[in-house]
Structure 1
Amino acid sequence: QQRPHWTHPLPPSGLGAMDHDSLVCKVKELQKTDPLCKEQWAKYTVTEGGGTKDPAKHDVSFLHRFLEIRGLIEVTGAYASCSLADFFREACKLSPTFKQAWKVYRQGMGESPSDDPSRHSRDALTNALEFMAQAGLTMMTMGGMTTPEEAWQPGAKRLKSDTSGLDPAKLTLVNKVKEFQKSGDEQKQAWWSFAQMHGLSKDPARFEDLQLQEFLAMQGML
């Protein structure tokens, strides 16, 4: 079997003066600052080092060799790294909504006039991604699709339930659930568990009649 082309001898690089600890620190630092180097190290250790990724567990010659030839190690497929700019570019291609959100965010924050993610810093892209994720989570929470983890913790502040406009039959079910919760902490936790399982808020008014009936039947209240 033909060995990778990067295993052939290369001229000395001047790294020979570094001791083991220095080489370990060098490899670790490169992995932290360069995603491509991290993948190159992973491929190198699988091919030449039995899959052991901890630099400290390899000898000087192994580490020295990697630093000499890492520029020749090609990473593709499972080894390939995707930069944040690449992620934004691909997301814009696949999602028109994401593309529009990125454009609106960029204009609103006074960022570079270019829509090309590669023209923006990593920090700018990270902030944009976090902002859009928070906005999406807020909309999902308001719509009853999900609830932030904090909202399910004991003592979390609850929004006042809006029961206006409910038909009498549903209002009766909602009030039964509320009274059940008031009867004790165990009962309150039972409702919270049921609500969380269905991915909705704690407010009984947000549930369908059949869901409320299901819960009340489970508690022997129907």
Structure 2
Amino acid sequence: MPNDASTVSEFHDVYEINDTAWRRFNEQAQLDNDFYLKAQHSHDEMERADRQGRILHTIDKIGRQVNLLHGYEIRNRHILKIGPVGGFDEQEDKACNQHTGVVMSLMSRHGGYDILSDAFKWGTLVQGSNLVEQWRDRNGLIQFGRLGWNQFLLDHGLTKSDLSDCGDILTGQWISTDKAKMLVPTAADEIEGILPLSHTSRWPFQGTPAMNNKAGKRMFEQWWRRTTEEVSMVQHRFTGQKM
């Protein structure tokens, strides 16, 4: 297993590679997000108007279209249904119906459908890309969340929308100290002793460290890497079954 120093160094290298690859996309995503939020005038334009005593107005033709499509998606969204694979089997079909009921209950109780709709609005319609994540909380329940365009970096070489060929996923979020302790309770004392981050070139589209420190936030980064390993197995010569 690699030591902490080598892991951190490799993380920085992977971040730099993917940040460089996605930089132009993220810059455009920021511009698209600003335009949806009606911040469609540049800083120079606002200064010039202020010197001339003019008031800048924005004719919002974007929000209306986004809200129309977002509402249509909510009205026509479908439930997640689990179906059997292969030939029809009564027992398997019954099990799939039970699983569908469980999934529908979880999605409804924990806002899963709303998360998917928010990801469609802010990702597909506004920012260009969002991620939906799910995890099991400390009570064993499935929870759902959404990552905005500026909170993650994907492997720059991916080609499949289901991320099946994505070798690396990096995420970065400014969170409160209490939430950091909750996420990593075994390191609560160490987290309390960590000095606030005063400067970083990572995650530049989330505001400055000084601004986030003033809000009592800390940077929480995660890195998932897809790897392979060699294992020994036995294959039945006639059935092809592997074990």
Q: TM-score category by the smaller chain?
A: under 0.3
Q: Which has the higher contact order (CA 8 A, sep 6+)?
A: 2
TM-score by length of 2: 0.21
Comparing both structures, which one devotes a greater share of its residues to helix? 1
The alignment's TM-score, normalised by the length of structure 1, stands at: 0.22
